[in-house]
Amino acid sequence: QVRLVESGGGLVQAGGSLRLSCVASGGTFSDQAVGWFRQAPGKEREFVAAINWSGINTITADSMKGRFTISRDNAKNTVYLQMNSLKPEDTAVYHCAAKFGYYYTDAHHYPYWGQGTQVTVSS
């Protein structure tokens, strides 16, 4: 059973930065693609970014390109989401999710999920 634990969320002013971490245990992490998704109150879950098993291939949602960067360190079983130039509309609970094989932007493809970490951006 794959277990994912997110951390790094918090309260930050608009224009600030945060780095989220997703630490995995169980399974073979280096075989898994990982995605970040977010959900704001009253809104649907939204794709943020994803990375393949090696870290070579990534994809980022258009609205976050240039501000958010996904990366991974397989030696540490960790995937990161570096978020810069944060905006109030980035406020949400951020979840990481994992799956074996290639990444998808559709959350339904991911069987393993973390509990999430709250990101709040003040104006």
DSSP state of 26: S
pLDDT given at position 50: 98
Q: What SS3 state is found at 15?
A: coil
Q: How confident is the model at residue 42 (pLDDT cuts 50, 70, 90)?
A: very high
Distance, CA of 116 to CA of 93 (rounded, Å): 6
Q: What is the pLDDT of residues 52-98, one digit of tens each?
A: 999 999 999 999 999 999 999 999 999 999 999 999 999 999 999 99
Do 24 and 114 meet the contact criterion of CB atoms below 8 Å apart?
no
Task: Tell me what pLDDT residue 72 has.
Answer: 97
Question: What average pLDDT score do residues 12-33 get?
Answer: 94
Gap between the Cα atoms of 79 and 75, Å rounded? 11
DSSP state of 66: T
Mean pLDDT for the chain? 96
DSSP letter for 77, please.
T
Whether pLDDT at 29 is above 90: no
pLDDT at 16: 98
Cβ atoms within 10 Å, residue 79: 29
Residues contacting residue 87 through CB under 8 Å, at least 6 positions apart: 14, 121
Rounded to whole angstroms, the Cα distance separating 110 from 85 reads 28
